[in-house]
Chain A
Amino acid sequence: MRKQSDEDLMRAFAGGSIEAFEELYSRHRTALYRYVLRKAGDTSTANDLYQGAWEKVIRGRNKYRRSFPFRAWLYRVTYNHVMDYYRQARPAAETHPDELESEIPGPDKQTEIDIRILRLKRAIRRLPPEQKDVLLLKLESGLSLDEIAAVSGMKRETVKSRLRYAVDKLKKSLREAELRSNHER
Chain B
Amino acid sequence: MNADLPANSADENLESDLENIRSVLGERDSGQPPQLLDTAVLNTARRELEDTGKTKRGRFSLRWLSAFATASVMILALGILVQQEQESVPVSNGDAEATLLQESAGKESAAESPQKRSMMKDHDQAPVTAASRSNEFKLQETASEAEQLNEEADETLPPEQWLQQILLLKSTQQEARLAEELAAFTAVYPDYPLPPELGD
Contacts and interface: CB of A to CB of B under 8 A. Distances in A.
Contacts of A138: 18
A138 to B, nearest CB: 7
A51 B40 contact: yes
A51 B31 contact: no
A170 B19 CA distance: 13
A145 B4 CA distance: 7
B44 A58 contact: yes
B82 interface: no
Interface in B1-45: 2-5, 10, 14, 17-18, 21-22, 24-25, 27-29, 31-34, 37-38, 40-42, 44-45
Interface of B is mostly: helix
Contacts of B28: 113-114, 117
Given A47-B34, A51-B41, A54-B41, A144 B27 contact: no
A16 B31 contact: no
B21 A167 contact: yes
Interface stretch (A28-36, A87-95, A96-104): A28-36
B37 A164 contact: no
A29 B48 contact: no
A16 B4 contact: no
Interface residues of B, number: 31
A139 B21 CA distance: 8
| A16, A167, A170, A171 interface centre (most CB from chain B within 10 Å) | A167
Contacts of A16: 49, 52-53
Contact of B27 (A117, A146, A171): A117
Interface string B115-148: 0000000000000000000000000000000000
Nearest to B16: A167
Nearest to A159: B4
20 contacts: A18-B42, A21-B45, A25-B38, A29-B33, A29-B38, A33-B37, A37-B31, A50-B33, A50-B37, A54-B44, A59-B48, A117-B28, A120-B21, A120-B24, A121-B25, A139-B21, A139-B22, A144-B3, A146-B4, A171-B17
Q: Which 4 A-B pairs have the closest CB atoms?
A: A34-B31, A33-B33, A54-B41, A145-B4
Given A29-B32, A167-B14, A167-B18, 17 more contacts: A21-B45, A25-B45, A30-B33, A34-B29, A37-B31, A51-B37, A51-B40, A54-B44, A55-B41, A113-B24, A113-B27, A117-B28, A138-B18, A140-B25, A160-B5, A164-B10, A167-B17
Interface of A: 13, 16, 18, 21-22, 25, 29-30, 33-34, 37, 47, 50-51, 54-55, 58-59, 113-114, 116-117, 120-121, 138-140, 144-146, 160, 163-164, 167, 170-171
